Amino acid sequence: MKACGLVVEYNPFHNGHVLHARKSREESGADIVVAVMSGPFLQRGEPALVSKWTRAAMALQGGIDLVLELPYAFATQKAEIFARGSISLLEYLGCDSFCFGSEDGRIEPFITAHKVMSDRSVPFDAAVKLAMDAGNSYPASAAKAYQTIVKDEGALDLTKPNNILGKEYVSAALTNGFSIRPYTIRRVAAGYHDTDLSNDSIASATGIRKAIQEEGGKGLDSVSNYVPRPTRTGLEHYLSSYRALHDWEMYWPLLKYRILSSSLSELAEVYEIEEGIEHRIKQMAQTAATFSQFMTGLKTKRYTWTRLQRMCVHILTHTSKEDMAHTHLPTYFRLLGMNGKGREYLHNVKKDLPLPLISKLSAYQKQDIEMDVRAAQVYALGLSGPSQAALMKREYEAPLILT
């Protein structure tokens, strides 16, 4: 069986994701589609709207055959490390191909960008440093540097979020000599950051979340045209079961406590906190009443909103530089769910898998999964009372989602 891999967050699963899964299957000629999905905290440094179990169930009912969790050590990282972890898992699982959505829609510019940055790394790095010294963030500096070196109007636009991730996916495969083959399809209708719900059936996850959260989780009617029925049902069931949808504001009291109860030297040991930013973090936390106020005061030109949010995630989950120091490639598969095709595929490849396959957390006692466990526990702390206990229990005792 041929498998095509997708790197996803499904926050939440929507009609654009249905199209992505279908087009990926068609473009690659795959028999099954595998999704490597972020867990409770996401690449942009945000808590997922609903649990990974609910999102996995949505995906399995929307055209995905097998769902694995991308470990916290890769899911909450800059694009390069995020891509390295996810593409490695797909390669190790035996996927023949992977397919990502992009603003460009052609695979050749991504391969060219990788070759240019590899073959001309010295002038590229120098151009990046020059742009950063001028006060630009790393992503903006990298985009400027690439345009400076290539000087081609048809060059890959690295200011676009999906192009940035796509380039790193391709680089992860080529740099590591993987056999997995890259494909891309053009994103349609809604851009990554679009907040409008103007298209008849496709909107960005950002826009869908905004519409839902504006009414405290009661705006599900406004997004019905943009999500499959199982997503609508899944969101309704989550609200009924846990009484909340997750966002940063619900974690603000916990984050504020962690910041104010930590010394400056303790904050400096948190992963991604560098260049004395701990002083500013401490200062802003003392006066901010909400997470939004805190972030607005914390934001500078040098640090992107995303990077600052990732710092906050690592403070919240007590993730240190030492915790991340030994993380280079994934060391296990965490299985969340599958359908009949997914089960058949796993049966065929299981004996050749180079990493242990975890189907139940309580059966795996090794230390390398500790960050995932901690992240899941902290994520559950956003809820209260019986809901909190129920979600923590789900992490340890939940059977796989089978459809």
**pLDDT above 80 (res 195):** no
Q: What pLDDT sits at residue 59? A: 98
Q: Give the residue-averaged pLDDT of 141-151.
A: 85
Model pLDDT, residue 221: 85
Q: What is the DSSP letter of 400?
A: P
Distance CA 280, CA 196 (A): 33
In a domain, 133, yes or no: no
Q: What's the rounded mean pLDDT across residues 71-79? A: 97
pLDDT given at position 398: 66
Q: What is the mean pLDDT of residues 283-288?
A: 97
Please check the confidence at residue 237 and state whether its pLDDT lies above 80. yes
Task: Work out the number of other CB atoms within 10 angstroms of the CB of residue 303.
Answer: 18
User: Quick one: how many helices (H) and strands (E) in the chain?
Assistant: 19, 8
* End residue of a domain, out of 325, 359, 389: 325
Whether the per-residue pLDDT at 376 is higher than 80: the answer is yes
Answer yes or no: do 202 and 262 share one domain: no
Average pLDDT (201-214) is: 87
Beta bridge partners of 270: 320
Please tell me whether residues 377 and 353 are part of one structural domain. Answer: yes
Domain check: are 301 and 317 in the same one? yes
The model's pLDDT over 20-69, given as tens digits with 9 standing for 90+, comes to 999 999 999 999 999 999 999 999 999 999 999 999 999 999 999 999 99
Average pLDDT, the chain: 92
Same domain, 311 and 353: no
Residues 227 and 321 in one domain: no
pLDDT cut 70: percent of the chain above it: 95
What pLDDT is stored for residue 217 in this prediction?
A: 53
pLDDT at 151: 75
Q: Which residues are annotated as a binding site?
A: 7-20, 101, 162, 187
Helix axes 79-92, 161-175, angle to 10 degrees: 50
pLDDT tens-digit map of 360-374: 888 888 889 999 999
Query: Are 314 and 262 found together in one domain?
Result: yes
Q: Which domain holds residue 31?
A: 3-103+187-246+328-401
pLDDT of residue 299: 93
What is the C-alpha to C-alpha distance for residues 170 and 109, in angstroms, rounded to an integer?
10
What's the average model confidence in pLDDT over 305-334?
Answer: 95
- CA 215, 216, 217: angle at the middle one, nearest 5? 95
Q: Are 90 and 390 in contact (CB under 8 A)?
A: no
**Per-residue exposure over 105-138, b if at least 16 CB sit within 10 Å of its own CB, e if not:** eebebbbbbbebbeeeeeebeebbeebbeeebbb
- The pLDDT of residue 194 is above 60: no
Judgement on whether residues 266 and 296 belong to the same structural domain of the protein: yes
**Do residues 34 and 60 touch, judged by C-beta distance below 8 A?**
no
- Residue 142 inside a domain? The answer is no
pTM of the model: 0.93
Binding site, annotated residues for ATP: 7-20, 101, 162, 187
Q: Is residue 117 part of a domain?
A: no
Distance, in Å, from the CA atom of 34 to the CA atom of 346, rounded to the nearest integer, reads 11
Is a pLDDT exceeding 60 seen at residue 312? yes
Roughly what angle, to the nearest 10 degrees, separates helices 121-133 and 108-119?
90
Q: Are 218 and 225 in contact (CB under 8 A)?
A: no
CA 324 to the chain's CA centroid: 17
Arithmetic mean of pLDDT, 338-350:
97
Handedness of CA 213, 216, 221, 222 (dihedral sign): negative
Q: Residue range 171-188: average pLDDT?
A: 95
Long-range contacts of 398-401 (CB under 8 A, 24+ apart): 398/53, 398/360, 399/360, 400/335, 400/336, 400/337, 400/338, 400/359, 400/360, 401/53, 401/56, 401/57, 401/60, 401/67, 401/336, 401/337, 401/338
Domain assignment present for residue 275? The answer is yes
Q: Give the Cα separation of 122 and 129 in Å (integer).
A: 11
Task: Please report the DSSP string for 306-332 in residue order.
Answer: HHHHHHHHHHHTT-BHHHHHT-SS---
Report, as an integer, the average pLDDT of 229-234: 96
* Whether pLDDT at 216 is above 70: no
